[in-house]
Amino acid sequence: MENKYIEEAEAINSTTMIDQLKTADHFYIVHYCKKRDKIEDRRCYWDNKSKIWETKEGKVAITCVALNNETYEIDGYRTFTNIFQIVGRKPMHENSEVH
């Protein structure tokens, strides 16, 4: 994955960011969780229903498929705001078979 810093205003309309998330095997979103009052990271992946948008308060929001951090099973779609960092990961092998 290519390291890029993108300003919040640019992220909403950035095709570069969406392209990077689409090609990632998965990615981690580091964000502030209001419910638990702490900074958390969440493993996610991008699909055809995922999107980047702006909330009524003017915050950047990302809606994507979130995985359980312990089992990596799908928790469902989640919307993240107060995002500090997004780190994409590519698979170590071209297919799912381990050599």
Per-residue pLDDT tens over the stretch 61-79? 999 999 998 999 999 999 9
How many domains are contained in the chain?
A: 1
- 53 occurs within a structural domain: yes
Nearest to 40 by CA among 85, 98, 95: 85
Domain with 72, as residue range(s), is: 26-88
pLDDT at 99 over 50: no
> Is residue 71 assigned to a domain?
yes
Q: Which two tokens stand for residue 3?
A: 């390291």
* pLDDT at position 98 over 50: no
Residue 97 pLDDT > 90: no
At 1 the pLDDT is: 52
Residue 1 within a domain:
no
Question: What is the pTM (predicted TM-score) of this model?
Answer: 0.82
Whether 49 is in a domain gets the answer: yes
Residue 11 vs residue 55, higher pLDDT? 55
Strand pairing partners for 80?
A: 62
Q: Is residue 17 part of a domain?
A: no
Please say if the pLDDT value at position 92 is more than 80. no
